[in-house]
């Protein structure tokens, strides 16, 4: 932090100070009315940027700056799944106002001693000294994003960029409850506050039980897993459900995993919320391929929106998804790495994805040989010792390749 800002007195009414400065700008603008309009806008922009810098440089002022309703805006250029979420997300506070508090109300269940939580509002709950407030929501065909704030009465133990929680989700489109361990990506704002974005991969929420439970039990018996057990792998046929354009999510955050490593430090809730979600489908492009090569390896489709891209691979002739690793190159030949969770999904970020090359590579070969350079491959100028680019290597080594172009 720049120490020059440390001793600046904090105004008691930040809004008043901003208003006074805007009046001064307006007065200056009137006196200089003969100058081009761009000059006035430049002055406003400069003062605004200075104001933001002043706020972020002075914790006492930052504490007064509104957080709820602006978390996407705060994090959208820093998180792995980056982009203008604030321009397309829905404020849950506004959702609550419009619905008169009926939509988004936390489902009230009989509370046991372990299950006690004080409800502050529809989207803010306190349990065991931690207040969790849901801020905004955005949903596309592939994922559901929820921004949130966590506040503690004592010192906030969460400090790193990635945090993990334990959740139980009940989606209106799926009769099966979903038990998850999702990642929150964000940052600590001050001694008591952590803000982040919770991402649920919707591709993982469409499974609604085994298609053939008896066959799965027989397979478990063959493997000596014991009576009543079922065996499930990547090739086990499952019942699936479609995700509608609107749905309801009953979200229960059971536990927040704290960072000091002690099992007893993991903070139990629960924090319960009900959200009514509408998918944004206007930015989604789906390229149906249904392409498979002679070896029985191929792609069903590729789905992209402004924030992420997901490939759907398909296999025949005894091949399995577990045996192949998906590798995606952007239009410049740079490696698009998955962030966390599903390796078939990659963040779009600011990359040129008008054209992408998709490869399916032998898993062992990628992990032990070709992928060793990791993030260095994201630089399209990277070369092997014999002078080849990653694209040239993959063209020779991959079991499957498809070029896909988007509008």
pLDDT score, position 385: 83
If you search the block for the tokens 């972020």, which residue do you land on?
A: 56
- Given a cut of 50, the residues of the chain with pLDDT beneath it are 1-64, 101-119
Q: Give the sign of the dihedral formed by CA 348, CA 353, CA 354, CA 355.
A: negative
Which tokens sit at 353?
A: 């994805």
Please give the model's pTM, rounded to 2 decimal places.
0.77
pLDDT score, position 18: 39
pLDDT score, position 22: 41
Q: Quick check: 29 and 43 in contact, CB under 8 A?
A: yes
Backbone conformation region of residue 387, classed left if phi is above 0, alpha if psi is from -120 to 50, else beta: left
User: How far, CA to CA in Å, does 225 sit from each of 211, 212, 222, 229, 232?
Assistant: 20, 17, 8, 6, 12
Question: Distance (Å, rounded) from C-alpha 395 to C-alpha 359?
Answer: 8
Q: Kindly report, residue by residue over 206-241, the tens digit of the pLDDT.
A: 988 777 788 878 887 888 877 778 787 767 778 889
pLDDT score, position 259: 65
pLDDT score, position 136: 97
pLDDT score, position 50: 44
Question: Distance (Å, rounded) from C-alpha 334 to C-alpha 352?
Answer: 10
């Amino acid at each position: 932090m720049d120490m020059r800002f440390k001793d600046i007195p904090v105004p008691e009414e930040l809004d008043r100070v901003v208003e006074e400065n805007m009046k001064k700008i307006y007065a200056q603008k009137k006196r200089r009315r003969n100058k081009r309009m761009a000059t006035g806008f430049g002055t406003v922009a400069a003062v605004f940027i200075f104001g933001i810098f002043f706020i972020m440089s002075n914790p006492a002022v930052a504490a007064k700056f509104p957080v709820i309703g602006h978390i996407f805006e705060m994090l959208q250029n820093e998180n792995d799944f980056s982009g203008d979420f604030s321009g397309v997300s829905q404020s849950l506070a506004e959702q609550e106002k419009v619905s008169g508090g009926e939509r988004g109300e936390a489902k009230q269940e009989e509370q046991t001693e372990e299950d006690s939580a004080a409800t502050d509002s529809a989207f803010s709950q306190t349990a065991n000294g931690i207040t969790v407030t849901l801020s905004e929501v955005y949903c596309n065909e592939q994922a559901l994003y929820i921004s949130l704030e966590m506040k503690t009465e004592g010192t906030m133990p969460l400090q790193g960029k990635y945090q993990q929680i334990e959740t139980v989700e009940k989606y209106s489109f799926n009769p099966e409850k979903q038990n998850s361990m999702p990642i929150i990506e964000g940052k600590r704002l001050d001694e008591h506050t952590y803000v982040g974005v919770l991402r649920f991969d919707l591709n993982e929420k469409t499974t609604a039980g085994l298609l053939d439970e008896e066959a799965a039990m027989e397979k478990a018996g063959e493997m000596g897993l014991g009576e009543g057990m079922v065996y499930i792998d990547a090739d086990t046929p499952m019942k699936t459900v479609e995700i509608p354009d609107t749905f309801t999510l009953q979200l229960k955050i059971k536990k927040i995993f704290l960072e000091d490593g002690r099992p007893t430090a993991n903070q139990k809730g629960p924090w319960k919320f009900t959200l009514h979600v509408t998918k944004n489908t206007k930015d989604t492009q789906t390229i149906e391929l249904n392409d498979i090569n002679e070896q029985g390896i191929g792609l069903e489709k590729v789905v992209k929106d402004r924030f992420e891209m997901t490939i759907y691979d398909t296999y025949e002739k005894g091949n399995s998804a577990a045996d192949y690793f998906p590798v995606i190159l952007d239009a410049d030949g740079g490696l698009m790495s998955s962030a966390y969770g599903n390796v078939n999904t990659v963040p779009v970020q600011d990359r040129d994805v008008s054209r992408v090359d998709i490869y399916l590579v032998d898993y062992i070969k990628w992990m032990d040989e070709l992928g060793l350079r990791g993030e260095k491959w994201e630089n399209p100028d990277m070369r092997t010792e014999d002078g080849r680019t990653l694209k040239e290597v993959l063209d020779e080594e991959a079991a499957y390749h498809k070029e896909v172009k988007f509008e």
